[in-house]
Amino acid sequence: RQHLEQIHAQGKRVVVWGSGSKCVAFLTTLDTTDKIEYVVDINPHRHGKFIPGVGKQIMAPEFLKEYKPDQVIVMNSIYCYEIQQMLDKMGVTTEVISL
């Protein structure tokens, strides 16, 4: 939570990658909803929908080309390498961290 507060205070953009239950818990339990604008997921059936209880919109990974986040928080660390490859392929330069 402190990390997000520092990043937010610096005016940096942060997104969460992964819209499952871990994301919902992360956003609600740590009271971080005002510090994260969007959630990204590769599942096209979730695009355009919202995270229950917090109202953050779920976007396709391609959205990041325009949004240009400073940091991507990956909900499942097993996918960090794959996500970094996708970001590199899209030309999105950002810091990728996992919980």
pLDDT, tens only, 16-55: 999 999 999 988 887 777 889 999 999 999 999 999 988 9
Structure tokens at 62: 């391609």
Total domains in the chain come to 1
CATH of the domain at 85: 3.40.50.720
For the chain, helix, strand, coil in percent to 5 are 35, 20, 45
- What is the CB-side half-sphere exposure of residue 47 using CA atoms within 13 A? 9
98 has pLDDT over 90? yes
* Residue 9 pLDDT: 86
| Mean pLDDT rounded to a whole number for the chain | 93
Range of the domain at 92: 1-98
pLDDT at site 79: 96
Higher pLDDT, 53 or 88: 88
- Residue 79, exposed/middle/buried by CB under 10 A (0-12, 13-18, 19+)? middle
